[in-house]
Copies of this chain bind each other. A is one copy, B any other.
């Protein structure tokens, strides 16, 4: 049995945020596939036994069970001594961008992509609304990344892991990175990291 077990599935950018850190940090980890598309995360059993929030990822480390990608990223940075803040100022800047990601970027991007790619019959007005919110967030990010290599500090940090979670699924939500040159360059920096894999390669699919 591996040291870390990560509940997730390859379509989940939130699970990928944690999986990518585990991989790049060289952790001994294994994935436990969650059958999201057949409702496992929303089942009574999953909610009572694994995560009352009805969501992946969930990280198991010894007796600890952690949920919410931001909590898992912070914990793994502490455990591995990698990708975390060097001081209080960096801590707050990293947390700020992780919160922004949860509230403004991943929330809309993941939902838009899910409804567009995996669900039939979503009202076009809902898709347009979500796409508009996603574009507004991408503009904030592109402007922020202009002239810097990484989101929150001078180095790759857990804020980058959080924010990149869904941004490798671009063919599924229809963004042209030429419209966001600073994001495009930052994505290439992440893809060039030793051990980087696309979520569809790194994370588990079904049986």
Interface residues of chain A, those whose CB is within 8 Å of chain B, are 52-54, 66-71, 74-75, 92, 95-96, 98-100, 102-104, 106-107, 123, 125-126, 129, 140, 143-144
Contacts and interface: CB of A to CB of B under 8 A. Distances in A.
A103 B102 contact: yes
Interface centre among A66, A99, A102 (most CB of B within 10 A): A99
Contacts of A75: 92
One complex includes copies of this chain to the number of 2
A123 to B, nearest CB: 4
Contacts of A102: 99, 102-103, 107
B92 A140 contact: no
Contacts of A100: 53, 68
A99 B68 contact: yes
A39 B66 CA distance: 39
A54 B95 contact: no
Contact of A143 (B52, B68, B99): B52
A138 to B, nearest CB: 13
Contacts of A52: 140, 143-144
Nearest to A97: B68
27 contacts: A52-B143, A52-B144, A53-B100, A54-B140, A66-B92, A66-B96, A70-B95, A70-B99, A71-B92, A71-B96, A74-B95, A75-B92, A99-B99, A99-B102, A102-B107, A103-B103, A103-B106, A103-B107, A104-B107, A123-B123, A123-B125, A123-B126, A123-B129, A125-B125, A125-B126, A126-B126, A126-B129
